[in-house]
């Protein structure tokens, strides 16, 4: 049971994730991705005459079970198999976060930002609501999410996925050095 309580090293977790692509292709030409599940849920719940939602969502219903497994696995992993050791952050990162007024480093997310009270602040609205909208818009615009492009797209040698992944990284680096200090500045 000890291997369930500790994070797996990259050289184990990476190949396990990477091997899901050929297994899914072998099992029936299935594509790995999460963002298409929201489209499936919307098509199932609201069968209107919207072109984006007007398709046979039932043929990819296996993906709904996949997302349910991720959700259940996240709950089990966070509550039952949670790593008891504190998150290992570099001293430079801790110092940067302290300059922005963040002091709680006990969990995976700073409690000063990720709680119900801070959601009502302008920091919370900007980070969670506007950020969530931009992630959703970007996912649709890029025709896939980071996991779909990064795992399935790169494994199947798709040029558009390589461009998308490079764009995700460049955008993340630019935002973390320019926008995040402005948003988090006390």
Across the chain, which has 186 residues, the per-10-residue mean pLDDT values are 75 86 82 78 79 79 85 86 76 87 79 81 82 83 82 85 91 88 78
On whether the CB atoms of residues 123 and 183 are closer than 8 A, the answer is yes
On whether the CB atoms of residues 148 and 34 are closer than 8 A, the answer is yes
pLDDT for the residue numbered 32: 74
- Cα 162 to Cα 152: distance, rounded to the nearest angstrom: 11
Q: What angle do CA 161, 166, 172 make, to 5 degrees?
A: 125
- Cα 24 to Cα 31: distance, rounded to the nearest angstrom: 7
pLDDT for the residue numbered 170: 94
pLDDT for the residue numbered 127: 80
- Cα 14 to Cα 20: distance, rounded to the nearest angstrom: 10
What pTM was estimated for this model as a whole? 0.70
């Amino acid at each position: 049971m000890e291997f369930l309580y500790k994070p797996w090293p990259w050289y184990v977790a990476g190949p396990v994730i990477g091997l899901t692509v050929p297994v899914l292709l072998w099992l029936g030409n299935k594509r790995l991705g999460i963002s298409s599940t929201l489209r499936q849920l919307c098509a199932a719940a609201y069968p209107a005459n919207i072109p984006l939602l007007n398709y046979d969502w039932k043929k990819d219903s296996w993906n709904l079970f996949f997302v349910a497994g991720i959700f259940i696995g996240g709950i089990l992993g966070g509550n039952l198999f949670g790593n008891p050791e504190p998150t290992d952050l570099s001293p430079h990162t801790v110092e940067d976060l302290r300059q922005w007024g963040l002091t709680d480093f006990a969990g995976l997310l700073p409690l000063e930002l990720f709680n119900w009270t801070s959601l009502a602040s302008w920091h919370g609205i900007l980070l969670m609501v506007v950020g969530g909208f931009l992630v959703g818009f970007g996912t649709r615009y890029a025709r896939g999410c980071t996991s779909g492009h990064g795992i399935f797209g790169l494994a199947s040698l798709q040029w558009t996925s390589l461009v998308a992944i490079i764009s995700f990284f460049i955008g993340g680096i630019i935002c973390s050095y320019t926008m995040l200090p402005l948003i988090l500045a006390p």
